[in-house]
Amino acid sequence: MSFNKVLVRDGAMFREAVAGDGLIGNYIEPVTVATAGALTIGTDAILGGCAVFTGAGGAVAYTMPTATVLTAALPKMGIGDSLCFYLCNTAAQVATITGVASVVVSGLATANAATRLCILKKTASDAYTLLCI
C-alpha cells in the first residue's frame, strides 16, 4: 500500500486532492513485528494501516522513522495532509512511541497491551507530527 491521492473535480478540470478537500480513506493490511527489543517502526507497518507488535519482553521504545524516510515513502503527501494508522502492542509490557528530529510525537504515546490510533501529519517539506490517541 502507499499514500495515494484521489482525483477531485475542480470546475471543469480534475486535480489531485489537497488538504481540506475531505477525508481520504485507506484500507488496512496489518503488519506484524515480532522483534523483542527497541526498534524503528518501518514504513511498511505505517502504510499497512496497522502495526502489530508482539515481541516486547520488557519496556521498549518504538521510534518513528526520520522525516527523510517518511518523505521518501510518501512522495504524494503534501504539507497539511495526514494519514491514520493503528499501533497495537499485544505484549503486556510498556511500549513508548518516540520521535526523532523533524518527527514530533504527542498524545498517548505509550501502549501496554493496548492499541493507539496514530495520526501522522506532514507539517513542512521535511517535518511531521504524530498524534497518538
Within 13 A of 64's CA, how many CA atoms are on the CB side?
27
- Burial state string for 108-121 with b = 16 or more CB within 10 A and e = fewer than 16: ebebeeeebebebb
**Structure confidence by residue, pLDDT tens digits, 51-96:** 998 876 778 899 999 999 999 999 989 899 999 999 998 887 888 9
Rounded to two decimals, the pTM is 0.80
Q: Are 82 and 121 in contact (CB under 8 A)?
A: yes
Q: All 3 cell numbers of residue 14?
A: 480534475
Distance CA 99, CA 107 (A): 12
What are the angstrom distances between the C-alpha of 50 and each of 61, 95, 102, 103, 125? 17, 15, 22, 19, 25
Say which amino acid occupies 29: E
Nearest residue to 57 via CA among 35, 39, 42 = 35
Q: Among 8-22, 60-74, 95-109, name the one with the lowest average pLDDT.
A: 8-22
Q: Among 24-33, 69-78, 100-109, name the one with the lowest average pLDDT.
A: 24-33
